[in-house]
Chains A and B, each alone.
Chain A
Amino acid sequence: MTPDDGLPDAEAALSALVERMHGAVAHDAALVGIYSGGAWIAERLAARLPGTHPVGFIDVSYYRDDYALSGLKPNARRTSLPFEVDGASIVLVDDVLYTGRSVRAAINELFDFGRPERIELAVLVDRGGRELPIEATYAGARLAVARNLSIVLSRDPGGTLSLGVEPITGVG
């Protein structure tokens, strides 16, 4: 983070997210990270939240609504949900909540694996700008960013998370 880009520190936002989820999330809720940023956060949350939380990962490439516009993104990852989805309490985890389209796709995909008892949503950053009626159950930070900018989460080799901004390319 540079002092003047207005972004919160990613590690501080993660701590704030842990605090909001602490005591509110079911002790056995599965944490399902949306690739790739959400996957990193799901792993970190599982280590810091009390209780036992199975961790899964989801790649929403095949469920996106912009396939006809922008085609299939290269390097789709394998969705992996190593727990029984039927009847599970699931927290979807993403790095940045913006239009809500990725979350819509992820919810659709989860239902192709079974019928969860409940799905909540945890995000590191909520930047507003929703195009669908979707809200985060837990957010580490909330801020407003210009529409032509994308917030990007990165992870250094030591595992430390940081936030940056990039000009938007293609369909978000």
Chain B
Amino acid sequence: MTRNPQLNAGGELTHLLTLEGLPASIITHILDTAEPFVSIAEREVKKVPLLRGKAMFNLFFENSTRTRTTFEIAAKRLSADVINLNIGVSSTAKGETLLDTVDNLCAMNADLFVVRHSQSGAPHLIASHLIATGRSHVHVVNAGDGRHAHPTQGLLDLYTIRHYKQDFRALTVAIVGDVLHSRVARSLIHGLTTMGTAQVRVVAPRTLLPTRVEGLGVHVFNDLRVGLRGCDVVVMLRLQNERMKGALLPSAGEYFKHYGLTDEKLALANPEAIVMHPGPMNRGVEIDSPVADGARSVILPQVTFGIAVRMAVLSIVSAA
């Protein structure tokens, strides 16, 4: 087996590409590092000089306002310089390859690449290229690739769960919805199992589950009412509207009836259960407004924690 390209020879995290295969000690280190970063937002001057003089390039080959913005805020709170590239309308459209784009940005003295791409494996390709060309001082953070992984979302979900529920080993977590197309679900499942979560469930119609999903170490439920029983954490996934056209589902209304989270269904989970959602939400499709805005929803704290978690990741890889 080849060495995990995310770790350098000293075993330190130098690129963040996926949570799959990442040791629990590194995940815990990231979550611990994120904790004091949360309070920096409350200061008069909302930044610290940790990454002063570093240049971070947001390479977004696929749109995502929220993820790009939170990475930008995280980098700015660490005093890094942020350059946003709108790749869709620039070099790639003119025919430049991904690695040529990377080489050009390295020639501009980039220190960090935050990469979002519709092709699974694109951030891995960039990291391998940097390693092969001896540029170990340049770091890659995956901001979502294809259906593969979205590790910072997985980490902020883990942070949120630990914040409200402390010990993973005592928890039952249900991930509900379009697991098939969700890199968020995949990253969270790997993170939860690595951290020793007592039981991880996926709840979805068969058409929205990957084949052999049990191989990831999860329990499969097709009935939401059954899957919610005894849960401490409920993670709702976004139903991507475009899936409706692919004959995977009859209609949004039908989906909501069976898989939409309402107060009445949430009552089947444990009384202290929290509700999470990676955003953007489709109210009335996967989640009912009274739940999304209710006392057990931690959807907005997830966003706040996401900045601190991304600050932790950027500062840890930069020091490796």
Please give the residue numbers on chain A whose beta carbons come within 8 Å of chain B beta carbons, in ascending order: 59, 61-63, 67-68, 70-72, 74-79, 85, 108-109, 112-114
Question: Which among B31-39, B251-259, B260-268 touches the partner chain?
Answer: B31-39
Q: Are A113 and B44 in contact (CB under 8 A)?
A: yes
B243 touches A (CB below 8 Å): no
New contact pairs (15) apart from A61-B36, A62-B49, CB-CB < 8 Å: A62-B50, A63-B48, A71-B316, A72-B33, A72-B315, A74-B32, A76-B36, A77-B36, A79-B36, A79-B39, A112-B43, A112-B47, A112-B48, A113-B44, A114-B44
Which residues in A have their C-beta under 8 angstroms from that of B216? none
The answer to whether the Cβ of B29 comes within 8 Å of any Cβ in the partner chain is yes
B29/A74 in contact, CB under 8 A? yes
The CA of A62 and the CA of B319, in the complex, are separated in Å by 12
B319 and A68 contact, CB distance less than 8 A:
yes
* Residues in chain B near residue A114, CB distance under 8 A: 44
Contacts of B47 in A (CB 8 A): 112
With an 8 A cutoff between CB atoms, is B102 at the interface? no
**A and B contact pairs by CB, cutoff 8 A, 18 listed:** A61-B36, A62-B50, A67-B319, A68-B319, A71-B316, A72-B33, A72-B50, A72-B315, A74-B29, A74-B32, A74-B33, A76-B36, A78-B39, A79-B36, A112-B45, A112-B47, A113-B45, A114-B44
Chain B residue at smallest Cβ distance from A85: B44
Q: Which residues of the partner chain B approach A62 to less than 8 Å between Cβ atoms?
A: 48-50
| Nearest CB in chain A to that of B320: its residue | A71
Instruction: A71 to B39: give the CA distance in the assembly, Å.
Output: 20
A-chain residues with CB within 8 Å of residue B33 when the two chains form the complex:
72, 74, 76
CB distance from B37 to the nearest CB of A (A): 8
Can you list the 6 inter-chain pairs with the closest CB atoms, starting with the nearest?
A: A71-B319, A62-B48, A112-B45, A78-B36, A76-B36, A62-B50
- Complex Cα–Cα for A85 and B319 (A): 31
Question: In the complex, are the beta carbons of A108 and B319 less than 8 A apart?
Answer: no
- Smallest distance from the beta carbon of B30 to chain A beta carbons, Å? 11
Q: Which residues of B contact A109 (CB under 8 A)?
A: 48
What is the minimal beta-carbon distance from B216 to any residue of chain A, in angstroms? 30
Our count of residue pairs bridging A and B at CB distance below 8 angstroms stands at 44
B36 touches A72 (CB 8 A): no
Residues on B with beta carbons closer than 8 Å to the beta carbon of A79: 36, 39
With both beta carbons as reference points, the residue of chain B lying nearest to A69 in the complex is identified as B319
A72 to B12, CA, bound (A): 12
Q: Which residues of B contact A113 (CB under 8 A)?
A: 43-45
Q: Which residues of A contact B35 (CB under 8 A)?
A: 78
State the CA gap A109–B44 with chains docked (Å): 11
The 0/1 profile, CB within 8 Å of A marked 1, for residues 111-151 of chain B is 00000000000000000000000000000000000000000
A residues within 8 A CB of B319? 67-68, 70-72
Cα A109 to Cα B79 with chains together (Å) = 13
Closest chain A CB from B24 CB (angstroms): 15
Shortest distance from the beta carbon of B48 to any chain A beta carbon, whole Å: 4
Q: Pick from B32, B36, B39, B50: contact of A67, CB below 8 A.
A: B50
Residue of B nearest to A111 (CB): B45
Alpha-carbon distance A109/B315, docked complex (angstroms): 18
Query: Cα distance A25–B149 when bound, in Å?
Result: 57
CA distance A137 to B35 in the complex (A): 34
Q: How far is the CA of A172 from the CA of B36 in the complex (A)?
A: 22
Q: Would you list which residues of chain B between 34 and 80 have a CB under 8 Å from chain A? A: 35-36, 39, 43-45, 47-50
Q: Are A63 and B49 in contact (CB under 8 A)?
A: yes
CA distance A77 to B35 in the complex (A): 9
B 220-236 to A, binary, CB cutoff 8 A, 1 in contact else 0: 00000000000000000
Contact, CB under 8 Å: A59 / B29: no
Question: Bound state CA distance, A131 and B36, in angstroms?
Answer: 29
Measured between beta carbons, the chain A residues less than 8 angstroms from B39 are: 78-79
Q: Which residue of A lies closest to B312 (CB)?
A: A72
A72:B316 contact, CB within 8 angstroms = yes
| Chain B residues with CB under 8 A of A72 | 33, 50, 315-316, 319
Give complex CA distance A46, B319 in Å.
Answer: 37
- Residue numbers in B under 8 Å from A112 (CB-CB): 43-45, 47-48
Q: Bound complex: CA of A62 vs CA of B35, how far in Å? A: 13
List, in ascending order, chain B residues with CB within 8 A of A76's CB: 33, 36
With A and B bound together, what is the CA distance between A50 and B47 in angstroms? 35
Which chain A positions have C-beta within 8 A of B50? 62, 67, 72
